[in-house]
Amino acid sequence: MVSPEGFLFLYSAHPMTTEFDISLLHQAARLAVKGHGTVEPNPMVGCIITNKDGEIVGEGFHEKFGEAHAEVNALTMAGESACGGTAYVTLEPCNHQGKTPPCSKALLDAGIKRVVIGASDPHEDASGGGDFLREQGIEVEIIQDVVCNEIIAPFVYRIKTRLPWVTCKWAQTIDGNIETPESESNWISCKESQQLVHEERGCVDAIVVGVGTVVADNPSLTVRGAPKYRTPVRVVIDPSLRTPLHSNVLNEDAPTLLAHAQGVDSSAFSSHNLIALPSAGGVLELAPLFQHLASEYDATNVLVEGGATLFEHIFSQNLANELWIFTAAHRSILLPRVNMNTLVDSLTTTLIEEQPSGVDNAMRLFVTPFIP
């Protein structure tokens, strides 16, 4: 998940918009991302209200699915001082009665005179708040700000494709190796990076690994030492069903789904959740799995944690939306079996964020085009 501080790309300027407007929108974006893990499948949204003198009088974000929207939380804080003021909202205010009443009407009723919007809402039922407010004589600017659009990318992607947003996360040595020989430490990345991964695990809907990783590392794929806003379903890509029955991934700590090739004998796994997928040459077709995660598990965000073979298949099937790469500052003692640096070079990516994570370097990239 993206933190607005790290964005390298600025907004596409709007003639009426000032730097002050953009900085308040980005402040609203920093509020919005606090909803990660608790608002999905809704979008993360933040809102700042200034009074008629341009002073901040209200702040809010969409905190929990089904509960108050960002604008309502900010208006509640602002009270009467919102009258005559400006609302900065990262997403176009909703214009429908959903689980909550329309935010467009709430802004109008509060006497807001100007609304600065970071991104349009592609949701068929909720969209149109910008037009409604304009028709009521309110000054509305929709900026299509890069930061605000990046925050809602998983929401938009799911609406347009019915697929969850797929983030491929790995830790590698500087020369692109993600597999460590036993003589090296089991962990490539540092403690701080591992902590970040657990925090993200607690916010996503599914964690996916290949069976090779299950056999080699026996991972638990659970959320540990971090808030557990969600319990991600553990998914093993296991074409011929060779997951050892005593693997940690099959314990009771979280639900697990085994994805195997159609026609494979699954009788030994009859007490487990299974999905049979089409395959060619032993490689599973993964789009139906991701569709299944969206429709049956309501998944918005999926974290793929390797190994290299699974990444190769996800990339070649054009299913990766985001890469989250932790690079340690040392080389591998062996030549990589798969060089992840070369693999990433085969994709078209946009760098979103790059910052230190303990002694590692952490990068986020969007894979383009992410909307087929």
x/- binding map, residues 55-84, to ligand AOF, per CB under 6 A? Answer: -------x------xxx-------------
What is the smallest separation between the CB atom of 123 and ligand AOF, expressed in angstroms? 3
126, 241, 314, 325: which one binds ligand AOF (CB under 6 A): 126
Assess 103 for contact with Zn ion (CB under 5 A). yes
Assess 69 for contact with Zn ion (CB under 5 A). yes
Task: Give 116 or 168: the residue with its C-beta nearer to ligand AOF.
Answer: 116
Task: Give 31 or 94: the residue with its C-beta nearer to Zn ion.
Answer: 94
Assess 75 for contact with Zn ion (CB under 5 A). no
x/- binding map, residues 217-256, to ligand AOF, per CB under 6 A? Answer: ----------------------------------------
37, 43, 130, 176: which one binds ligand AOF (CB under 6 A): 43
Assess 26 for contact with ligand AOF (CB under 6 A). no
21, 40, 59, 121: which one binds ligand AOF (CB under 6 A): 121
What is the smallest separation between the CB atom of 101 and ligand AOF, expressed in angstroms? 8
Assess 304 for contact with Zn ion (CB under 5 A). no
Binding region for ligand AOF (CB under 6 A) out of 95-103, 136-144, 198-206, 301-309: 95-103
Q: How far apart are CA 6 and CA 146, in angstroms?
A: 12
Binding region for ligand AOF (CB under 6 A) out of 4-12, 50-58, 91-99, 355-363: 91-99
71 labelled catalytic:
yes
Contacting residues toward ligand AOF, per CB under 6 A: 42-43, 45, 62, 69-71, 91, 93-94, 98-100, 103, 121, 123, 126
Residues annotated catalytic, as ranges: 71
